[in-house]
Amino acid sequence: MGYIVGANPLGQMIFSPLVGWWGNRLGSIRLPLLFSLTVFTLSSACYSMLEIFPIYRKYWMLGSRFFVGVSSASIAVCRSYLSAATTLKERTGAVSMVSLAQVLGFVVGPGLQAAVTPLGDKGVPLIPGILTFNMYTATGWINVLLGVFNCILFLPSIFHERRIAAREAMMLHGMESEEETWKQVHPDYISTWTLICAFFVLVFNFVLLETLGTSLTMDQFAWTKADALYYMGILMSVGAVVACVAFVVIGPLCKRFQERKVLMWGGFLFMVIGGALYFPWGSEPPIIAEEIMVTQVNETYGNRNNAVNETEIVGCPSVQKWCYYIPAMTVTQFLLGYAFIAIGYPIGVTLIQTIFSKVLGPRPQGVWMGLMTGAGCLSRFMGPVFVSFIYTRYGTIWTFSITTVMMIITMVWLQLVEKRLVPPDLPPAPLPPIELQVCSSEAINGKSSMEEYTHLQEKPDTNYS
């Protein structure tokens, strides 16, 4: 299961820089996007047709998940194009909308899974005895439809590419070509790698909480699996709404304050507070795991519900030695911490991407955006590993101490390089042609001798020296 979950971010991490480079090389994002959407569609179909393979089904699932991750590498060229197709003033709002769309995708996805659950595991046979449309395969077929729809959206008759950022720089700085414009400056490597590392730390902390959330509540509050899934579902939905509000207010905040200030004091500071709030407040350790009787409701499609009494182990597992001496968290601090992180994460992610695109300037950004996307994928890959090796062995104090210190170090680092987190200085535009002028200490044509520079001719198409 760990390999299956990790295959997706691994594929995206490896191929994001490569797809970004491909987009730069072509000077267009249409072919990389159509290719990645085709891979996404075929991989999703493979996922939904695992039952047609007589053997090695888990390896087919592993491959399909990996190639879905490969197709997700297209986000690198999407972010690159977003930077190329907006002016500097439009950039923050555009990145906010894309990030909002991404969050809404995470909200809608579980809803679609819930919507097809009534199909049950029997479902509807597409090819009797061979292929079935049920609650497990339906999500893959939904992805197939979405992939085909997106391929249509990127056809030449619908999607037209625009290169606004380079032309804006050409006009402002008097360059004759886009290539000449971005070749005038080189990336500030300190700024770019600082932002890539900051993106990794930010996503890592959020993914860690997302991965740990259900297990943490079950360990700390002695909730059953059903309770943990129910309450975490509600909490994540509320958190998504809070994140949407945060995306909306980013624009007005950045008009009032500098983006890098909002990033540090709005994004990272809230994440630091959220992580610190997860330190234990209680005085007693959590309840050690014990077996209790729970009522399990089995829902079968088309039949009435059947309630069955079963046993379930709830509480902090006894194999985790820290459960005996580290104080338990409280529900209040867990909710407060999640609230701060739900506000800080969208602000941080949006502004890091916005500032990153501006720091790179008008140059093609596919490879650089691929590196940033790869950093986010690496954090998704390492999050579950961190949970396995740190949380289960050393508990909440060590886990949230490490993550909070990581955030503080990143925040200090950003403060040290703050003045470098600005768009590059391009050569100023040349002055317009000046007509023949004469320096005089005497009156000319009856005018005062104080006017030292006097135009003699009005011929706008001719330069005189």
The CATH number of the domain where 245 resides is what? 1.20.1250.20
The answer to whether residues 212 and 126 belong to one domain is: no
Question: How many structural domains comprise the chain?
Answer: 3
How large is the average pLDDT for residues 160-186? 65
Strand partners, 127: 131
Q: What integer pLDDT is reported at residue 410 of this predicted model?
A: 92
Do 148 and 207 lie in a common domain?
no
Asked if residue 113 is part of any domain, the answer here is no
For residue 173, being part of any structural domain is answered with no
Q: What's the average model confidence in pLDDT over 312-340?
A: 87
CB atoms within 10 A of CB 286: 24
State what percent of residues in the chain have pLDDT above 70. 80
Residue 293 lies in a domain: no
Question: How does pLDDT run across 68-106, given as a tens digit for each residue?
Answer: 999 988 888 888 888 778 887 777 777 777 877 877 776
Which own/partner pairs from 178-186 qualify as long-range (CB within 8 Å, at least 24 positions apart)? 178/362, 181/362, 181/426, 182/361, 182/362, 182/363, 182/364, 184/426, 184/427, 185/361, 185/363, 185/424, 185/425, 185/426
Kindly indicate the confidence band of residue 5, based on its pLDDT and cuts at 50, 70 and 90. Answer: confident
Q: Does residue 392 sit within a domain? A: yes
Residue 446 lies in a domain: yes
pLDDT at site 436: 53
Average pLDDT (12-35) is: 87
Mean pLDDT, residues 123-150 taken together: 87
Mean pLDDT of 420-445: 60
Per-residue model confidence (pLDDT) at position 293: 52
Same domain, 151 and 189: no
Taking alpha carbons only, the member of 348, 356, 108 closest to residue 246 is 348
- Rounded mean pLDDT, 14-23: 87
Query: What would the mean pLDDT of 425-432 be, rounded to a whole number?
Result: 59
Length of the chain: 465
Query: Taking the mean position of all CA atoms in its chain, how far away is CA 308?
Result: 42
DSSP string, 240-261: HHHHHHHHHHHHHHHHHS-HHH
- pLDDT(231) > 80: yes
Domain that holds residue 139: 1-85+120-162
Q: Are residues 403 and 449 in the same domain?
A: no
> 177 lies in a domain?
no
Say yes or no: 417 and 347 in one domain.
Answer: yes
Range in 194-208, 209-223, 441-455 the model is least confident about: 441-455
Same domain for 193 and 148, yes or no, is no
Residue 196 token pair: 């890539």
User: Does this model's pTM top 0.75?
Assistant: no
Q: Distance between CA atoms of 285 and 279, rounded to whole angstroms?
A: 13
**Cα-atom radius of gyration of the chain, to the nearest Å?**
28
- The answer to whether the beta carbons of residues 424 and 223 sit under 8 Å apart is no
Query: What was the pLDDT predicted at 144?
Result: 94
What is the average pLDDT across 214-236? 82
- Residue 179 belongs to some domain of the structure: no
Q: Which residue has the tokens 């100023």?
A: 428
Question: Do 213 and 151 lie in a common domain?
Answer: no
Residue 442 has pLDDT above 60, yes or no: no
Maximum C-alpha span of the chain: 109
Q: What is the pLDDT, as a whole number, of residue 308?
A: 52
Q: How far is CA 197 from CA 127, 223, 411, in A?
A: 49, 36, 11
Can you give the pLDDT at residue 256? 82
Q: Are residues 426 and 439 in the same domain?
A: no
pLDDT of 32 above 50:
yes
pLDDT tens, position by position, 375-410: 888 887 787 777 778 888 888 899 899 989 999 999
17 with 70, same domain? yes
Most confident of 34-48, 157-171, 205-219, 250-264: 34-48
- Asked if residue 301 belongs to a domain, the reply is no
Check whether residue 19 and residue 61 sit in a common domain: yes
Q: Provide the pLDDT confidence category of residue 465 given band limits of 50, 70 and 90.
A: very low
| Sign of CA pseudo-dihedral 313, 318, 320, 325 | positive
Mean pLDDT of the chain: 79
Same domain, 423 and 461: no
Give the Cα separation of 280 and 334 in Å (integer): 10
Per-residue pLDDT tens over the stretch 286-304? 888 765 655 555 444 444 4
- Helical (H) or strand (E) element with 293: strand 290-298
Query: Which pairs from 165-174 meet CB under 8 Å and 24+ separation?
Result: 165/83, 165/84, 165/85, 165/86, 165/87, 165/88, 165/362, 166/84, 166/362, 168/87, 168/88, 168/362, 169/361, 169/362, 169/426, 172/426, 172/429, 173/426, 173/427, 173/428, 173/429, 174/429, 174/430
The residue among 158, 160, 5 whose CA lies nearest residue 68 is: 5
Q: Which of 104 and 439 is assigned the larger pLDDT?
A: 104
234 and 191 inside one domain = yes
* Contact in structure between 68 and 47 (CB atoms under 8 Å): yes
Q: What is the pLDDT at residue 38?
A: 94
Q: Could you tell me how many helices (H) and strands (E) the chain has, helices first?
A: 15, 6
What would the mean pLDDT of 309-329 be, rounded to a whole number? 83
